Amino acid sequence: MRQSFISVTILLILITDPLGNIPLFIASLKHVSPERRVQVILRECAIAFLVLVGFLFFGSAFLSALDLSDQTLRISGGVILFLIALNMIFPGTGGRLVEEEQGGEPFIVPVAIPLIAGPSAITTVMLLSKSDPSRNLEWVGAIAIAIAVTTVSFLLSVRLKDILGPRGLSAIERLMGLVLTAIAVEMLLGGISAYVAHLS
């Protein structure tokens, strides 16, 4: 099925989960001075953008070198997405992307990778590239919008946390988790059906 630009953009926003990651983000930057936070946010979001674009254009070659099939990528991506979605709905039961930063200023890890450009986001952009390489520039635009949403959310993180409160952020994260669960199951079933068709 041909995916639209809007659906891919929404998918990437759901996967990067900017609102759900606000508590982890605040914990990672708690030792950073307020005047440095804007620079750190812009730097980490730019790094995450470059990482995702890099995997979009060169991830397929990397997978080919490892002799991994599209079906394997889709199935593993579905499993990872499902674990992340499970943790969003029931915290502590699924995959946890990062631990709280213990001290100092984060650089690349854990904010850019894996908080923003995590395994699920990387897998998704590689699948997009393999499904329709002619639309890679379009996918770059979708990645840019998703990273822009994350950047704005992080810049307003303290204010959003005060406005929504812990329960509000938790409710939004669970709602995103429900949508992401459906996407994960669809990706997993698509990979399994493609693998069965390939065997037959």
Contacts 24+ apart (CB under 8 A), 100-104: 100/24, 100/27, 100/28, 101/27, 101/28, 101/29, 101/30, 101/31, 103/31, 104/31
Classify 60 as helix, strand or coil.
helix
Q: How confident is the model at residue 162 (pLDDT cuts 50, 70, 90)?
A: confident
68/96 Cα distance (integer angstroms): 25
Distance CA 172, CA 73 (A): 29
User: Is 59:129 a contact under the CB 8 Å cutoff?
Assistant: yes
Question: How many angstroms separate the Cα of 33 from the Cα of each of 28, 41, 102, 104, 116?
Answer: 12, 12, 15, 10, 21
Give pLDDT tens digits for 68-85: 777 787 788 778 778 877
Q: What DSSP string runs through 131-159? A: H-GGGHHHHHHHHHHHHHHHHHHHHTHHH
pLDDT digits (tens, 9 = 90+) for 99-111: 444 456 888 877 8
pLDDT at residue 100 in the model: 46
Collapse the DSSP code of 101 into the 3-class scheme (helix H, G, I; strand E, B; otherwise coil) and give the result.
coil
Provide CB contacts within 8 A for 81, sequence distance 6+.
15, 120, 123, 124, 180, 183, 184, 187
Instruction: Give the mean model confidence (pLDDT) for residues 113-118.
Output: 83
Smallest Cα–Cα separation from 12: which of 159, 137, 148?
Answer: 148
Q: Where are the alpha helices (DSSP H) in the chain?
A: 5-16, 22-28, 34-65, 70-89, 119-131, 136-155, 157-199
- In percent, the amount of the chain with pLDDT more than 90 equals 26
pLDDT tens column, 30-39: 778 888 999 9
How far is Cα 122 from Cα 102, in angstroms, rounded to an integer? 26
